[in-house]
Amino acid sequence: MALLDVENLSISFGGLRAVNDFEIHIEKGQLYGLIGPNGAGKTTAFNLLTGVYKPNEGIIRLDGQDITGKKTIEISKAGIARTFQNIRLFKGMSVLDNVKSGLHNKYMYKTIASILRLPSYYRVEKEMNEKAMELLTVFDLDGEANTLACNLPYGKQRKLEIARAMATDPKLLLLDEPAAGMNPNETKELMETIRLIRDRFDITILLIEHDMKLVKGICEELTVLNFGSVLAQGKTADVLSDPEVIKAYIGEDD
């Protein structure tokens, strides 16, 4: 059984069909890419998968569980986490506290214990700090745990956003243009990081990306969206050699 099964997913805005009969099936452990020209509906598809939008039609199953139309927090608890095209960090908080904010799916303070600072509060706080530092070590950010997120270089802010998403312990991680704005060295490091977290955490990753070198370097299969509809699907090499895909999207950018 696939980890993610999406069938006939559609949504319209003011009569405009933004996503039309979108289907995708992703196996556990895959590195899967979603590509297409600007305005093709890629981020809208992510918003449907994460509960930001409710579909007009279709069904979304995660690990066999129907999550169609559920609230964002319910989908997060079911096992989907994401990053955003425009980085969304708590920039006035430390690197450590940003990651800890993602742990609240798994760790809960009792109100009285928190107010009175009872031993149980400090026990939970210690566990969260240790877990957050483990993740920061994976992303080579442990040395900057006390740095304000806004003071990190751009590439490290991208890595921090992924680390925070990983703190929710997802089954499926959605990355929306993780290489946007990165220089070649940062992109190469990002590729290595994505492979590392897939292998180390046995996680499934779906990413939107325009950087074809990154797509070719890590994505095992692709879906191509164009005008909200699926243009092509399959193994990365096969999809990127499809004349219709080249005509619609890749062209001189290849």
Q: 201-237: per-residue pLDDT in tens?
A: 999 999 999 888 899 999 999 999 999 999 999 999 9
pLDDT at site 244: 84
Amino acid at site 190: L
Q: Which of 7-11, 26-30, 62-66, 213-217 has the lowest mean pLDDT?
A: 213-217
Pairwise CA distance, residues 47 & 230, whole Å? 17
Percent of the chain with pLDDT over 90: 75
Q: Which of 19, 6, 163, 153 is nearest to 75 (CA)?
A: 6
Domain ranges of the chain: 1-79+170-254, 91-167
Grade residue 124 by pLDDT with cuts at 50, 70 and 90.
Answer: confident
pLDDT at site 123: 77
Count CA within 13 A, CB hemisphere, residue 12.
6
Residue 246 has pLDDT above 90, yes or no: no
CA dihedral of 76, 80, 83, 84, whole degrees rounded to 10: -80
Q: Which of 23-37, 50-64, 122-136 has the lowest mean pLDDT?
A: 122-136
Q: For the whole model, what pTM was predicted?
A: 0.89
Grade residue 126 by pLDDT with cuts at 50, 70 and 90.
Answer: confident
Q: Which two tokens stand for residue 112?
A: 């009285």
Count CA within 13 A, CB hemisphere, residue 216.
10
Grade residue 141 by pLDDT with cuts at 50, 70 and 90.
Answer: very high
CATH architecture assignment, domain 1-79+170-254: 3-Layer(aba) Sandwich (3.40)
Residue 253 has pLDDT above 60, yes or no: no
Q: What is the DSSP letter of 142?
A: G
